[in-house]
Amino acid sequence: MNLDYVLDKSSETSPSQEEALFLFRKSRDVNEASKIFATAAQVRDRELGRIFKLDGEIAPVTSCQIKPMCRYCTFSQETLTPEEVLEGLKLAEKAGIGDIRLSGGSDLSSDGDEVIELVRMVMANTNLRVHVNIGPVYSQYNLETLKLLGVIEVGSSLETINPSVFKQTKPGDSLVFRIETAQAINRTGLKLQSIIMVGLGSSDEDYIEHLFFLQQLKNLTHLPISRFNPFKGTPMESRRRASPWEAARLCAVARLVLRTPDIRIAAGGGPDDIPLWLMAGGNRITSLFIHHNKCEPERFSGENPLHIERTFTNKLEVVDRSSICRYFAEDAGFSVNPSNRADQ
Ligand code: SF4
């Protein structure tokens, strides 16, 4: 296969599965990667504009019933109360974020009734665009209700499409349920968010198979790519952190295969990843986190406190990286949405 030929084709239309695997393997070499990234960035600019998006997250809004817990996870079982969620919405509005994601743990035996109740309360109390990334296996009725309520995106993430890697790293979870939920969200006409995690043990072939599974889901609007990051006290604490290069290479090939979804720097990445992400065709990050101040205490500890706003309100912690994310993206020649005149 010839790289220039495959890239010429990929500039206009998605590569085949075989070509995508060829591109992913070629991108291991930094010189070849620069050509692949440039084509992915061109596709992003043409499809979505040279715009970097920021969003916010409130978590955890539901507890996680997965037992045993996923082997890399430090998710707190203590959830925010409805009052704290409402307070979090006000804080997000004040921070100037337009899109907020309600994130929570999974319950494979649920049909999503508790999520509907929460979303009704949230929609009645905010003008923010509301996204939901909570793991239950929603009933069809509840998916239709989320659509009627005006939820922007609903998440169902596989993390890896390889059944044995899934079983090793997420022994209490169900790949089949997650696939079926993603398909049901898509069928209902809701926009779908679905995460791929790099560094869990997926092979090159797994990543490409995963992208082509997602390509069939025409309502996929958002692909977060997370980087495995070992947390102390978890069964996977001694495994090496995933490389930012692997995440960026997957971002570039995902842009060529999927074309229009937002591709976001997700957990395990941060503001310093923005330049590489923009070069690789990515376009989004979560810059505002509102959570219990006991939730994942180490998660943001490496960041510069002078430029990351951290405030505590009652039991909530607000980590606002919007200013530094805007600065890093604008420094690379991108407009940022939402913009914030106060930063300039
Ligand atoms: S489903 Fe999500 S929140 Fe629950 S244990 Fe797994 S990674 Fe953690």
Global confidence as pTM: 0.95
**Residues within a 6 A CB radius of ligand 1:** 64, 66, 69-70, 73, 75, 105-106, 135, 170, 173
CATH code for the domain in which residue 67 is found: 3.20.20.70
Is 18 inside any structural domain? no
Is residue 14 domain-resident? no
Q: Which of 26, 10, 7, 24 is nearest to 205 (CA)?
A: 24
Distance in Å, CA 197 to ligand 1 centroid: 13
The pLDDT value given to residue 282: 98
CA 35 to chain centre: 25
From the CA of 168, how far away is ligand 1's center (Å)? 14
Is the CB of residue 265 less than 8 Å from the CB of residue 66?
Answer: no
The answer to the question of residue 112 being in a domain is: yes
**E-assigned strand segments in the chain:** 51-59, 99-103, 129-133, 153-155, 191-193, 196-198, 220-227, 262-265, 284-292, 309-313, 316-320, 335-337
Distance CA 150, CA 332 (A): 34
Kindly give the number of the ligand 1 atom that is closest to the alpha carbon of 73: 8
Q: Torsion over CA of 57, 61, 194 and 109, rounded to 10 degrees?
A: 180
Q: What's the pLDDT score for residue 317?
A: 86
pLDDT 10s per residue in the chain (344 long)? Answer: 999 999 999 999 999 999 999 999 999 999 999 999 999 999 999 999 999 999 999 999 999 999 999 999 987 778 999 999 999 999 999 999 999 999 999 999 999 999 999 999 999 999 999 999 998 789 999 999 999 999 999 999 999 999 999 999 999 999 999 999 999 999 999 999 999 999 999 999 999 999 999 999 999 999 999 999 998 889 999 999 999 999 999 999 999 999 999 999 999 999 999 999 999 999 999 999 998 876 665 666 566 666 667 776 777 888 899 999 999 999 999 999 998 745 44
In a domain, 343, yes or no: no
pLDDT of residue 59: 93
Q: At what angle do helices 30-48 and 244-258 cross, to 10 degrees?
A: 50
Confidence (pLDDT) at 344 = 42
Got the DSSP string for 189-246?
T-EEE--EEETSS--HHHHHHHHHHHHT-TTEEEEEEEE--PPTTSTTTTSPPPPHHH
**Which residue owns the Cα nearest ligand 1 atom 2?**
105
pLDDT of amino acid 14 = 98
Domain that holds residue 81: 24-338
Q: Which among 287, 290, 291, 289 has a CA at the least distance from the CA of 339?
A: 287
CB atoms within 10 A of CB 320: 22
CA-72 nearest atom, ligand 1: 7
In a domain, 4, yes or no: no
Within-domain flag for 311? yes
Q: Is position 1 within any domain? A: no
Query: How far separated are the first and last CA of the chain, in Å rounded?
Result: 47
Domain presence at residue 51 = yes
Q: Atom 6 of ligand 1 has which residue's CA nearest to it?
A: 70
pLDDT score for 98: 95
- Residue 75 CA to ligand 1 centre (angstroms): 6
Distance of alpha carbon 54 from alpha carbon 44, whole angstroms: 16
Residue nearest to atom 1 of ligand 1 (CA): 106
Which residue's structure tokens are 């706003």?
309
330 token code pair: 């604008």
From 193, 206, 136, select the one nearest 164 (Cα to Cα): 206
DSSP structure class, residue 342: G
Residue having the nearest C-alpha atom to atom 8 of ligand 1: 73
Cα 134 to ligand 1 centroid, rounded to whole Å: 10
Domain count, the chain: 1
